[in-house]
Structure 1
Amino acid sequence: MLKPRSTATRELVNLDGLWRFAVDTAVGEHPWTGPLDTPLEAAVPASYNDLFTDSAIRDHVGRVWYQRSVRVPRGWAGERVLLRLDAATHEGKVYVDDTLVAEHVGGYTPFEADITEHVAAGQEFRLTIGVSNELTNTTVPPGTITVTADGRRQQKYHHDFYNYAGLARSVWLCSVPNAHIEDITVVTGLDSTTGTVEYEVATSAPVPVRVRVLDALGTEVAAAEGASGALRIDDVTPWRPGAAYLYDLVAEIVDGGEVRDTYAQPFGVRTVEVRGTQFLINGEPFYFTGFGKHEDTPVRGKGHDNAYLVHDFQLMEWAGANSFRTTHYPYAEEVLDFADRHGIVVIDETAAVGINLAVEGGLTGRPHKPTYSKDTLNDDTRAAHAQAIRELVARDKNHPSVVMWCVANEPSTHEEGAREYFEPLVELTRKLDPTRPVCSTASLLTTHQNDRIADLFDVVCLNRYYGWYIATGDLATAEALMESELHAWAGKLGKPILMTEYGADTQPGLHSVWDAPWSEEYQVAYLEANHRAFDRCEAVVGEHVWNFADFQTSPGIHRVDGNKKGVFTRDRRPKSAAHALRARWSCLNGRKPANNA
């Protein structure tokens, strides 16, 4: 599915703005059959949870409804009219007037409907979208719904971030020709100073296709006929971390010498490879510095915001970060487009977080249900997980910034059934894209001794909190534990190790002359202890601090106004740790630090 673009043959109308809004308990059984009877309006894109002062809306479990009128441009007669949602978290139903035109499960990937037969050029229609935030044992991410004694529905989940919901990304009305380009796949390689470009163009009907490659100045550097083939770019300029360079692959449907449809797909020429304990980009060793992040801002929740996008990337550049992981779901496409243009490396992750019922045992000390079973996470869960992988790869396959697929965050991989659950998913990911490495992150409960699936992946990705959840306040012990585990993993698998999470909750403005957890000084000392351990293990290829910025979580006594592990506050003010990271990372420039043994 191509991202909507305005071209010589395509037009689009952005439908963002204020929509009529209601929760399902406040409207009739079929609210799409007429004007939505509500005094409320909600912003799109934005999560709805923090927009209103009514806690019943914030805590609502079930479906909410958005509605607005849309006029089809009068010049679209004879064109196909598409309706595109960049996301509906976590499940969406779309109605044009009284007709259901689309349904989609999965909260962070796009879907669309051809509504040509239901609308007319120059005329208005009523657009109604129902969005459900419900999570069950067969959704990704999973969750459970309980009902209190007084009849209130409550959502429970195992991931440590707030379950924001709604239309957090843009909605579009698009026109395309009757015979049109539906998808483009670009795979690149490097042969000395020559770039290789394999391409495939999918069309709505068998039609003649030609392609041209344009450089950044718009000069044609290669061309071919046919819907699939291979091209060569002489004296190629590769896409590099910190030095982005993009080409356009312009695909055209040509009929009788006339261009019937055209679409330009940006791409970068680069290679990714794991060799021994090295992670290579364009054949050169790369050392990750950066963060796990969240799409999380005040009021907007997970709503995409271009101002925050620009500022966050500026802060990452200031800190010396060269990369980030899309924790714990696919981010808005605008984020990856920006990373492509600015040379930031991305590990792209599915929404498979919370696949770990063992966490219940770890937090409570009580026995827990098995993670993988007929009654918990089962074949239906894995099918939803597989679909999430398909949609992630289909959406993001052409982004040069994306160098690795992460199929899950902190799943319970030491339990019985883990390999049977994950092996088919890893095989699917490699089949969909054999050009990128595949990984999953390991939680504290997964060790080199009890893990069942790490051999399936190309990179060992560890989430570790020695000095915070383990050996709290004892950084000498924490450093020794970290170094010991790193060498154990390296000795077992001989693969690159990426520290995908390590961090300490920190209250901004709290200071201490001692190693006092929650103080800004402790966060700095904690990071330094971890870094010394990383630097003494040759297999470590990078460090992603948890987290870039403080973020909102579900209510609970162990979180006061959210997770405070950010090195920036939720409104993006630096803590002392941000300055410490800048001092370390600004000198590295993608290279492995010197050994501190």
Structure 2
Amino acid sequence: MTEQWRSEYPRPQFVREQWMSLNGEWEFEFDDARVGDKENWYEKGAFSRVINVPFCYQSELSGIGDPSFHDVVWYRRTFALPDAYAGKRIWLHFGAVDYEAAVWVNGKLVATHEGGHTPFRADITEALKDGDNVVAVKAVDYSQDVTLPRGKQFWEEKSAGIFYTRTTGIWQSVWLEPVSQTHISRVRMTPDIDRGELKLQTFVGGFAPGRDVTLEATVSFEGQVLSRDAFTIAREAESRSIGIHDFNDHGLGRWWSPEKPHLYDLRLRLLVDGEEADRVDSYFGMRKVSIEDGVVQLNNRPYTMRLVLDQGYFPTGLLTAPSDDDLRRDVELTKEMGFNGARKHQKIEDPRYLYWADRLGLLVWGEMANSYHFSETYVGRVTREWLQAVERDYNHPSIVAWVPINESWGVTNILVDEQQQQHALAMYHMTKSLDPMRPVISNDGWELVRTDLVTIHDYEWRRDVLADRYSALDKALSARPGNRFILVPGYEYEGQPLLLTEFGGISFRKSDWEGWGYSGAEDDEDFVRRLRDVLEPVREAPLIQGFCYTQLTDVEQEINGLLTYDRRPKVPLAEIRKLVQGD
């Protein structure tokens, strides 16, 4: 059993001082015969295996490394609470469990959850006892169900093509947290650089009418207090606008951008009858993403997005990074190669990655992990999980676009099926209703319905063809790369910005991994030439306002990364940077 485990604070935008990690060794068992419920595994019996949480059993770092189908798995461990937690409500948090989870504490069911990529929590106070407590988790996956929001997880046992090893069970951090009866349950921060304000929405749990409840919000920048506002909480949700007037648009200001990732600190103190009941530390960035007269803008200025496709897989941890340093390094490598953003492909990424994107300055497109077959069951599943994903990540300044559907996955007949078109429209409008400040792409790649950006996937590798195709709007919209319509007939082009959001995909073997790509290089010189042949015409095309190169790293059998699977550059980073930026 490896001793490596994830010890960093899992929720960096909503930090409480007291917390206790439950990562590390748990008892573990496969339940292929599905007898665990009948035999009450949640309250008795010793499991035969040990697993290293939060790594899924398919991964090497879990200590098991079994890629075969085991759709029902069980976990268990004991814990004792510190004396300092006495008198508080105790919450048990899970970052993500794929796909369904049931949680017991001391034999009492405390939570159920559906959705493999989003967090949930349980108030376990009433189930606790003095001394040691036992938490048990049953996770149920559906390895071969293609209506499941699964992203790149393959429905066959062995990876192939663009699909990779599955993730079953716990794959993000587990932790305990003591909170007061009246507490801050969540916060929503909306920057408005035009008005110089932050709209702050605070949601209070355990609200007690008749008591004196006050929220104190303190905004600071690099340790200097800029604003302190205290107001009475009269209901469970309160909104305030806080003036942020210490910046301007002459190069001296503090707006957030990849080039200058300025962040403000926010401390929230909840006082009940004059006594501090809760304290949460957070941060925000003042930035604006908009489209003006058909032009993508960041902070009211035209901005070219130079993105790289990033699938967020790791050789030893699969969807789970081995450490927080690995997440930070992915952001650093992306920037070192000249990109100013990443499209997190088919994965709702770990909040720690978004923290480093916020902190170091990297644009991120947030994308849903899609299904592969349309049904009413699929619609319910993907809608519920996407709602949770948007709520979880709303406050991150690095998130600048939402992609609920990619390449017609889950809506394979959208070109001719009105029901599937209505679903894509619903996802677009629902996302806009939750977040009016970011652009939404209804179906990234092709067969778009209503959309804020027209995004195209085109793996053409011939320089002259790319240059000609994107030299004029009529050529670009009628080209049909992959033999697909860019827009569903009946949905007209409305002057949206045009971006090439998948291209390149040049395979080049520089490790022990065998694999494939969309075109192949023979050596370093050939690889650089092929990169130049796709990057230069895309970068110079007058129509294209941004691009996303495929891809950051090799992933399992797919060897079309700029880096190997273990993050070694295939050619010098400075050479890639010149091609990406046009230096």
TM-score, with length taken from structure 2: 0.83
Residue 33 of structure 1: aligned partner: 43
3-state DSSP of counterpart to 1:384 = helix
CA deviation vs aligned residue, 1:29-72 (integer Å, no higher than 9, x gap): 2322224320x222122222133999993112411222211112
3-state DSSP of counterpart to 2:149 = coil
Residue 174 of structure 1: aligned partner: 177
Residue 433 of structure 1: aligned partner: 435
Cα distance change of structure 1 residues 34 and 422 upon mapping to structure 2, 3 Å threshold? same
1:223 aligns with 2:216: no
Cα distance change of structure 1 residues 145 and 7 upon mapping to structure 2, 3 Å threshold? closer
Residue 426 of structure 2: aligned partner: 424
Gaps of 5+ in 2: 1-8, 233-237, 248-253, 479-491, 512-517
1:101 aligns with 2:110: yes
| Alignment partners' CA distance in 2, 1:157 and 1:143 | 10
Residue 329 of structure 1: aligned partner: 347
Residue 501 of structure 1: aligned partner: 502
1:159 Cα shift? 6.1
Cα distance change of structure 1 residues 49 and 531 upon mapping to structure 2, 3 Å threshold? same
| Alignment partners' CA distance in 2, 1:261 and 1:525 | 58
Q: Is the 8 A contact 1:466 1:481 kept in 2?
A: no
1:300 Cα shift? 1.3
Cα distance change of structure 1 residues 326 and 569 upon mapping to structure 2, 3 Å threshold? same
* Alignment of structure 1 residues 113-512 onto 2, 5 Å: 113-120=122-129, 123-135=131-143, 136-141=145-150, 160-191=163-194, 195-204=196-205, 205-206=207-208, 207-226=213-232, 227-236=238-247, 237-304=254-321, 305-352=323-370, 354-355=371-372, 376-411=373-408, 412=412, 413-417=414-418, 418-443=420-445, 446=446, 451=447, 453=449, 456-467=450-461, 475-477=463-465, 479-481=467-469, 487-489=475-477, 492-509=493-510
Equivalent of 2:544 in 527, 540, 544: 540
| Alignment partners' CA distance in 2, 1:332 and 1:29 | 30
Q: Is the 8 A contact 2:97 2:116 kept in 1?
A: yes
1:188 Cα shift? 0.8
Residue 24 of structure 2: aligned partner: 17
1:585 Cα shift? 3.2
Deviates more, 1:529-538 or 1:389-398: 529-538
1:480 Cα shift? 4.0
| Alignment partners' CA distance in 2, 1:74 and 1:83 | 17
1:89 Cα shift? 1.9
Corresponding letter in the other structure for 2:114: V
CA deviation vs aligned residue, 1:160-201 (integer Å, no higher than 9, x gap): 33323332211001110110000111111113xx62111111
| Alignment partners' CA distance in 1, 2:72 and 2:302 | 48
Q: Is the 8 A contact 2:16 2:281 kept in 1?
A: no
3-state DSSP of counterpart to 2:163 = coil
Residue 471 of structure 1: aligned partner: none
Corresponding letter in the other structure for 2:197: T
| Alignment partners' CA distance in 2, 1:258 and 1:390 | 35
What is the root-mean-square deviation in Å for CA atoms of aligned residues? 3.2
Cα distance change of structure 1 residues 548 and 8 upon mapping to structure 2, 3 Å threshold? closer
| Alignment partners' CA distance in 2, 1:138 and 1:545 | 28
Corresponding letter in the other structure for 1:240: S
Corresponding letter in the other structure for 1:422: A
Residue 577 of structure 2: aligned partner: 582
* Alignment of structure 1 residues 46-65 onto 2, 5 Å: 46-51=55-60, 57-65=66-74
| Alignment partners' CA distance in 2, 1:225 and 1:516 | 60
Identity in percent: 24
Deviates more, 1:572-581 or 1:330-339: 572-581
Corresponding letter in the other structure for 1:583: K
Corresponding letter in the other structure for 2:138: G
| Alignment partners' CA distance in 2, 1:476 and 1:585 | 18
1:337 Cα shift? 0.8
Deviates more, 1:237-246 or 1:153-162: 153-162
| Alignment partners' CA distance in 2, 1:324 and 1:242 | 15
TM-score, with length taken from structure 1: 0.81
Cα distance change of structure 1 residues 53 and 186 upon mapping to structure 2, 3 Å threshold? closer
Cα distance change of structure 1 residues 34 and 187 upon mapping to structure 2, 3 Å threshold? same
CA deviation vs aligned residue, 1:301-339 (integer Å, no higher than 9, x gap): 112321211222221222112110111121000011111
| Alignment partners' CA distance in 2, 1:327 and 1:335 | 13
Residue 551 of structure 1: aligned partner: 555
Cα distance change of structure 1 residues 127 and 287 upon mapping to structure 2, 3 Å threshold? same
Corresponding letter in the other structure for 1:529: D
Equivalent of 2:530 in 526, 530, 535: 526
CA deviation vs aligned residue, 1:146-165 (integer Å, no higher than 9, x gap): 9xxxxxx9699996333233
Corresponding letter in the other structure for 2:502: E
